[in-house]
Amino acid sequence: MNEKNSHLPLSGVRALELSHAILGPSCGQILADMGAEVIRIERAPEGDYTRELKGFGIGFHTYFNRNKKSIVLDLKSEKGKEVLKKLIASADVMYDNFGPGAMDRLGFGYEACDAINPGIVYCSLKGFMPGPYEHRPSLDNLVQMMGGLAYMTGPAGRPLRAGTSVIDIMGGTFGALGIITALYERKTTGKGQLVRAALFEATAYLVGQHMAMAAFTGEPPPPMPEGEMPWGVYDLFTTADGEMIFIGMTSDFHWKRFCEVFGQEELFADERLKTNNSRCAERKWLIPRLSEMFKRMSSEEVVAGCEKSVIPFAPIRRPDELIEDPHLNRSGGLVETVLPSGKKAKLPKIPLRLGEYDFGLRNEPPEPGEGTHEILKSIGLDKKEIDDLIGKGIVCFKKCK
């Protein structure tokens, strides 16, 4: 650990994570990266099933669970529940993203935890806030569909989910924000509280700009691929070597610099293109003309021109290409993590810098039960008691599978 990271902003905060998939773990990733002691309470005997996912889910556990500890605990047993009660008494934070009512049925809803530890900040991460939908199970895909995001992303009649678990991560981020805010308030009140964050409401927040548009126009917003852009040039262009580059000119200064650098004096002199709004009105012929120009230029020439004119641009990249991205590597945006296979991989840090703090890797993602002895000793259990719990299968390790 770097000396400057020996005391991170959330050092000294103990958080209990009862979660799976992405919503809960992404909340915990933020807390853990910022220094909290995050203890994953995993189901006995095999641990969190998220580890076993394939396809798009194969990287979930490794990515979202660095800097955490793990204990595999049988919460259907009275002994296991006693252990969790002691952990709750020792904790500052607890959060879950299990289905509606699951924690209450287990005996560890907010009221029960508050009775054990009035100072605890309890975050309930669910699909929906209290209301007509709160009883429903939820998924990232589901709320993207019913929350208007899939409608806005795909072409008309073809709703399309975003290309990452954007709502799960957004929900987890708001959960972490709520937890940190509640911890700050606890300094004044001395009391914990219930924090709620929900996927459906997070989706509504993201499409709020389109809801505002509908309020202004009185019309349903068109999907983004078919809507009217607020900028005269805000498009993908294909270069001579087949690479696609996005270019967005959001000011008259951008347009002026573009015309100067790319030798488009004739376009700059055209009275029809003097302002952004006038360029929007001429897009039907302007964009095809620019497209023809870019088709005669190499990607290198286009990038160099955009850099020189200081206009926004972006080549199209796959996620795997970011591993060797020169900026991410120079800025410290990636951290090397060990995969379960033993192979090393560079993955993104949380996109936040706070003074001199570097929110990097302190511990690799834990194996099931990694940290058990340390965790149980911290709540006053001795070796004999720990061995008894292990012998009875109340707590378990990877080898217990």
Q: pLDDT tens string for the chain (401 positions)?
A: 344 446 899 999 999 999 999 999 999 999 999 999 999 999 998 899 999 999 999 999 999 999 999 999 999 999 999 999 999 999 999 999 999 999 999 999 999 999 999 999 999 999 999 999 999 999 999 999 999 999 999 999 999 999 999 999 999 999 999 999 999 999 999 999 999 999 999 999 999 999 999 999 999 999 999 888 899 999 999 999 999 999 999 999 999 999 999 999 999 999 999 999 999 999 999 999 999 999 999 999 999 999 999 999 999 999 999 999 999 999 999 999 999 889 999 999 999 999 888 899 999 999 999 999 999 999 999 999 999 999 999 998 864 44
What's the rounded Cα separation, in Å, for the pair 75 and 398?
17
CA angle 116–118–124, rounded 5-degree value:
85
What pLDDT score does 75 carry? 96
In this structure, how many other beta carbons lie within 10 angstroms of the beta carbon of residue 281?
12
What pLDDT score does 377 carry? 97
Within 78-223, residue ranges assigned H as helices are 78-90, 102-106, 110-116, 140-146, 149-153, 166-189, 199-206, 208-217
Please enumerate in sequence order all residues whose Cβ is within 8 A of that of 292, keeping only pairs 6 or more positions apart, or say none: none
34: closest CA among 14, 70, 8, 6?
Answer: 8
What's the rounded Cα separation, in Å, for the pair 67 and 31?
9
Beta strands of 23-148 (E only): which ranges?
37-43, 68-73, 93-96, 121-126
What pLDDT score does 166 carry? 97
Rounded to 10 degrees, the C-alpha dihedral 276/280/284/290 comes to 30
What's the rounded Cα separation, in Å, for the pair 138 and 122?
20
Ordered structural domains, the chain, with CATH: 3-206+371-400 (3.40.50.10540), 239-318 (3.30.1540.10)
What pLDDT score does 333 carry? 96
What pLDDT score does 401 carry? 43
String of b and e for 201-240 (b: at least 16 CB within 10 Å)?
A: bbbbebbeebeeeeeeeeeebebeeeeeeebbbbbebebe
What's the rounded Cα separation, in Å, for the pair 315 and 304?
12
pTM: 0.93
336: closest CA among 357, 361, 366, 319?
Answer: 361
What pLDDT score does 6 carry? 60
What's the rounded Cα separation, in Å, for the pair 83 and 89?
10
What pLDDT score does 376 carry? 97
What's the rounded Cα separation, in Å, for the pair 68 and 59?
16
**Do you know the residue count of the chain?**
401
Q: Provide long-range contacts, Cβ within 8 A and 24+ apart, for 295-304.
A: 295/237, 295/238, 295/239, 295/240, 296/240, 297/239, 297/240, 298/239, 298/240, 298/241, 299/239, 299/240, 299/241, 299/243, 299/245, 301/239, 302/237, 302/239, 302/245, 303/245
Q: What is the crossing angle of helices 166-189 and 199-206, to 10°? A: 110
What's the rounded Cα separation, in Å, for the pair 321 and 330?
15
